[in-house]
């Protein structure tokens, strides 16, 4: 009996399945060595690439401070804010008050309309610009055009709004004078006309962002295998056919990814732009969720309601990202993850 038990113990030890076996000890030593090697590799990579990590640090710090730290304060949407803490938990009362306000539905409708117009008319323009720039064979000419169309991106909305206000002025604006000279009637005040102010937002957004946003699509175009163009040329494809059958399919993943990310910002509609074009006459037409939250939080001091509105916008944005990702996966096989 004792001999049989000894044989079983010896067999187990020979398999290396117990802590005291020679094989088990060898495996633990190898694990420690691999862990030490991975730590050394990590330190070596850190020493090698530290300038790039240093350049990333300010951006990561910005997102951590302004996008991650405030997440904890989102609980304010479920509280009654008091000057002297602690706040009082009220559950969904702030959301009920928010959804009971007719102003909320007005600004929500404005946000949806403006965002839909930007998706329909602004989003395709950088793609078209990138395709056109790719067809310019003269490198110097292409560089000059790129520098010209990238410049508006570096201007603030204060400057851009001032430029458009001057151009669209009904008294001495260039657009009104051209309109009158061509016999299209007297100049119109586009900035106070509810039927045109949203188009002013769309056109100014195109002017500011189309050139800069085309960089991503240009990078995707340059990454396409040149052999595909050579094969298409051998098959007798024209320049338009090469664009349609080679270039556009090659940038579909980039288009899908950026479209999904834009859907996440669907309820934003750009606060900086709207607040610079807004006046007392057009406020009812371009008043969006962000300006509504801005007024609630800073003008009236309704911090809980403002947080509830912001949380509503964030949740809807997350739902739109996930939905557009699933739809893109189903249609194109490409998504964010």
Query: Residue 279 and residue 262: Cα distance in Å, rounded?
Result: 27
- Determine the pLDDT at residue 34: 58
Phi, psi of 88 (to 5 degrees): -100, 130
- pLDDT at residue 33 in the model: 57
Res 293 pLDDT > 50: yes
What integer pLDDT is reported at residue 268 of this predicted model?
Answer: 85
Q: What pLDDT does residue 14 have?
A: 47
Q: What is the mean pLDDT of the chain?
A: 85
Q: What is the pLDDT of residue 137?
A: 86
Identify the pLDDT of residue 170: 86
Residue 221 CA to chain centroid, in angstroms?
21
| Residue-level pLDDT at 28 | 56
Higher per-residue confidence, 42 vs 38: 42
At residue 10, the pLDDT reads 47
Look at 335 and 206; give whichever has higher pLDDT.
206
Q: What is the mean pLDDT of residues 211-220?
A: 92
* Residues 88-120: tens digit of each pLDDT: 899 999 999 999 999 999 999 999 999 999 999
CB burial string 178-209: b at 16+ within 10 A, e below? ebeeeeeeebbbbbebeebbbebbbbbbbbbb
Report pLDDT digits (tens) over 170-183: 888 888 888 888 88
Residue 47 clears pLDDT 60, i.e. is over it: yes
């Amino acid at each position: 009996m004792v001999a049989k038990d000894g044989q079983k113990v010896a067999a187990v030890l020979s398999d290396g399945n117990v802590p005291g076996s020679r094989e088990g000890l060898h495996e633990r030593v190898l694990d420690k060595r691999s862990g030490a090697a991975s730590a050394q590799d990590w330190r070596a990579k850190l020493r090698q690439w530290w300038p790039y990590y240093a350049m990333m640090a300010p951006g990561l710090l910005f997102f951590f401070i302004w996008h991650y730290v405030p997440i904890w304060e989102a609980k304010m949407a479920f509280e009654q804010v008091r000057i002297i803490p602690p706040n009082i938990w009220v559950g969904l009362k702030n959301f009920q008050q928010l959804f009971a306000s007719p102003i909320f539905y007005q600004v929500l409708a404005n946000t949806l309309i403006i965002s839909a117009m930007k998706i329909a008319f602004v989003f395709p323009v950088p793609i078209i610009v990138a395709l056109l720039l790719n067809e310019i064979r003269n490198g110097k000419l292409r560089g000059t055009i790129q520098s010209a169309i990238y410049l508006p991106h570096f201007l603030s909305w204060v400057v851009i709004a001032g430029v458009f206000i001057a151009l669209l002025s009904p008294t001495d604006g260039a657009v009104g004078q051209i309109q009158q000279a061509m016999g299209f009637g007297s100049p119109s005040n586009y900035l106070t006309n509810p039927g045109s102010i949203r188009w002013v937002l769309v056109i100014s957004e195109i002017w500011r962002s189309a050139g800069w946003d085309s960089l991503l699509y240009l990078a995707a175009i340059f990454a396409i295998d040149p052999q595909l163009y050579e094969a298409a040329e051998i098959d007798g494809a024209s320049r338009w056919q090469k664009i349609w059958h080679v270039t556009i399919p090659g940038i579909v993943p980039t288009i899908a990814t950026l479209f999904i990310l834009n859907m996440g910002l669907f309820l934003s509609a750009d606060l900086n732009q709207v607040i610079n074009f807004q006046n007392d006459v057009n406020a009812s037409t371009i008043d969006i969720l962000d300006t509504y939250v801005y007024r609630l939080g800073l003008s009236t001091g309704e911090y809980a309601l403002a947080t509830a509105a912001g949380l509503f916008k964030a949740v809807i944005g997350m739902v739109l990202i996930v939905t557009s990702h699933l739809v893109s996966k189903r249609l194109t096989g490409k998504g964010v993850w």
